[in-house]
């Protein structure tokens, strides 16, 4: 189990095409605080798998969602479904 798997499972459980969350909600789901870089840099939430040494990006992508919008000032994020989450049953390691 990776540390960001709770986000993966939460997104996989969604039936919506778009999911809006605050950073605080994500921290509640995770059970720990997001890194300072996640709160300061939009790029941390990028959709490119190659840039994710940490597992957050793969957790969202493997759940079938991409990051559509990140507002670091308001600490909100929008995830957009890009493919069926049924195709991905676990987070890549």
Q: Which pLDDT belongs to residue 2?
A: 81
Tokens of 41: 């840099």
Tens digit of pLDDT at every position of the chain (93 positions):
588 899 999 999 999 999 999 999 999 999 999 999 999 998 888 887 655 455 577 788 889 999 999 999 999 999 999 965 444 444 444
User: What pLDDT, on the 0 to 100 scale, is given for residue 55?
Assistant: 57
The pLDDT of residue 50 is 56
Q: Give the C-alpha separation, 64 to 92, whole Å.
A: 13
- pLDDT score at 29: 96
The number of angstroms, rounded, from the C-alpha of 85 to the middle of its chain's C-alpha atoms is: 13
């Amino acid at each position: 189990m990776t540390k960001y798997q709770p986000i993966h499972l939460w997104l996989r459980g969604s039936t919506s095409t778009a999911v809006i969350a605050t950073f605080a909600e994500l921290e509640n789901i995770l059970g720990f605080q997001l890194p300072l870089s996640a709160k300061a840099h939009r790029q941390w939430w990028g959709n490119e798998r190659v840039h994710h040494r940490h597992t957050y990006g793969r957790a969202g992508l493997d759940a079938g969602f991409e990051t559509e919008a990140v507002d670091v000032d308001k600490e909100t994020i929008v995830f957009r479904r890009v493919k069926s989450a049924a195709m991905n049953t676990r987070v890549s390691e």
